[in-house]
Amino acid sequence: MKNKINIAIDGYSSCGKSTLAKSIAKELNYIYIDTGAMYRALTLYALHHSYINESGDLDNAGLISALDKIVIHFKYNTDTLKYETFLNGENVEHEIRNPLVSSFVSPVSGIKEVRKKLVALQQRLAEGRGVVMDGRDIGTVVLPDAELKIYMTADSTIRAKRRFDELKIMGVQTTVEEVLKNLNARDEYDTTRANDPLRQADDAIVLDNSHLSIDEQFMFVMKQAKNKIITNTEQEA
């Protein structure tokens, strides 16, 4: 699609990837794809269907066998002005954000067959360009040809406090210490897993937002996006 680009935003948990991606998509009138929500929805399905038992053991084979039964899509809520995640027709946007899902999403997302299913879906969604997608492997695996790649990072204690504040607003009972423990565990798993680990793409622009406001992050990425759009337009002229 002429003049449009794809934007890939990768980074650690609770760096504000989704918040930034949504703002950029809204400003550019692009489609926003929350890949993390997809993996969270799959994790929720695994919990609801006992593919994760009370001891925390994951039944990989059982979940893999159920993949064809799982349908994930997004709907834009005109009342809240936000995209919401649906799992097999049910709105699970709030449920997928709870700490229990967070504690299991990394091992679920590390399953090769799970990633294959969701990566294929994500790539189909981005075929026409004009997409902002955030996750762990967007710039390296899902959209390696994205015109703009952003790699987000921030101090873990700052990320934990931000996530704690979000959960508190949602009414989730937890502590900063518990959130930090979960984030550190996810960081370790995400960067060392065998299948599509979190890493910076060679051509990605690093955005450390430890001490940046949301507005400052937005302006930084919008400047990069506008430059890429201009370049893309010139190349297609």
The answer to whether the beta carbons of residues 163 and 155 sit under 8 Å apart is no
Which pLDDT does position 91 carry in this prediction?
97
Position 195 pLDDT exceeds 60: yes
Which has more pLDDT, 143 or 83?
143
The answer to whether the beta carbons of residues 97 and 84 sit under 8 Å apart is no
Confidence of residue 2 (pLDDT cuts 50, 70, 90): low
Flag the least confident range among 41-45, 107-111, 232-236: 232-236
Give the sheet arrangement for strand 72-77, strand by strand. 72-77, 82-87, 90-91
What are residue 135's DSSP bridge partners?
10
Q: What is the mean pLDDT of residues 14-20?
A: 92
CATH fold of the domain at 6-232: Rossmann fold (3.40.50)
The answer to whether the beta carbons of residues 126 and 207 sit under 8 Å apart is no
Q: What kind and span of H or E run contains 161?
A: helix 156-169
Which has more pLDDT, 231 or 60?
60
Confidence (pTM): 0.81
The answer to whether the beta carbons of residues 47 and 177 sit under 8 Å apart is no
Q: Burial letters for 216-233: b for 16+ Cβ neighbours within 10 Å, e otherwise?
A: ebbebbeebbeebbeebe
Q: Please give the structure tokens belonging to residue 122.
A: 């994500």
Confidence of residue 237 (pLDDT cuts 50, 70, 90): low
The answer to whether the beta carbons of residues 142 and 123 sit under 8 Å apart is yes
C-alpha span between 179 and 159 (Å, rounded): 9
C-alpha span between 190 and 165 (Å, rounded): 23
